[in-house]
Chain A
Amino acid sequence: MTPPNDQNHAVEEDGPFQDVLLEIRGLRTYVASSGQIGRAVDGVWLDAHRGETLGIVGESGSGKSLTALSIMRLHGENAEVVGGQILYEGTDLLKLSDDQMRAFRGARIGYIPQDPMSSLNPVISVGKQIAEPLRWHLGLRGKEARARAIELMEMVHIPEAGTRFDSFPHEFSGGMRQRVVGAIALGGQPDLLIADEPTTSLDVTIQSAYLKLLRELQRKNNLTIIFITHDFGIVANLCDRVAVMYAGRVVEVGPTDTVLLSPAHPYTQALLEALPDVAERTQRLKTIGGQPPSIFRDAVGCSFAPRCKFRMDICEQEDPSDVALGSNHRASCFAIGPY
Chain B
Amino acid sequence: MDRVLLVEDLTKHYASGSRGLRRTRGKVKAVDGLNFSIERGETLAIVGESGSGKTTTAKLVLGLESPTGGRITTGIDSAGGPTVQAVFQDPWSSLDPRMRVGAIIAEPLLFQDSSSRAMRRRRVEELLDLVGLDLSSTERFPHQLSGGQRQRVAIARALASKPDLIVLDEPVSALDVSIRAQIINLLADIQDALRTSYLVISHDLATVRIGADQVAVMYAGRFVEYGTADALFDDPQHPYTQALFAASLPARPDRRRIDGAVSEPDATPPATSGCSFRLRCPLASKICETTDPKLIQVDEARLAACHLLNSAQ
Contact = CB atoms under 8 A, between A and B. Distances in A.
Interface in A187-220: 203-213, 215
A260 B252 contact: yes
B270 to A, nearest CB: 13
A278 B205 contact: yes
Contacts of A60: 147, 176
Nearest to B265: A209
B267 interface: yes
The secondary-structure label for the interface of chain A is helix
Nearest to A283: B188
A157 interface: yes
B3 to A, nearest CB: 24
The majority secondary structure among interface residues of chain B is helix
Interface string A155-176: 0010100000000001101111
Given A59-B176, A276-B206, A281-B230, A206 B266 contact: yes
A215 B258 contact: yes
A275 interface: yes
Q: Is the interface on chain B under 10, 10 to 19, 20 to 34, or 35 or more residues?
A: 35 or more
B249 A203 contact: no
A208 B206 contact: no
A233 B247 contact: no
Interface in B198-254: 203, 205-207, 209-210, 229-230, 233, 243-254
A205 B250 contact: no
A20 interface: no
A203 B249 CA distance: 12
B303 to A, nearest CB: 21
A236 B251 contact: yes
Nearest to A176: B266
Nearest to A282: B210
Interface in A236-288: 236-238, 256-257, 260-261, 270-272, 274-288
Contacts of A270: 178
A180 to B, nearest CB: 12
24 contacts: A171-B21, A171-B22, A175-B265, A203-B50, A203-B203, A205-B49, A206-B265, A208-B258, A208-B261, A208-B264, A209-B263, A209-B265, A231-B249, A261-B253, A271-B178, A275-B206, A276-B209, A277-B206, A278-B233, A279-B250, A282-B209, A284-B185, A287-B181, A291-B179
Given A205-B244, A236-B253, 11 more contacts: A170-B21, A173-B267, A204-B248, A208-B263, A215-B258, A236-B251, A272-B251, A276-B181, A276-B184, A282-B209, A287-B185
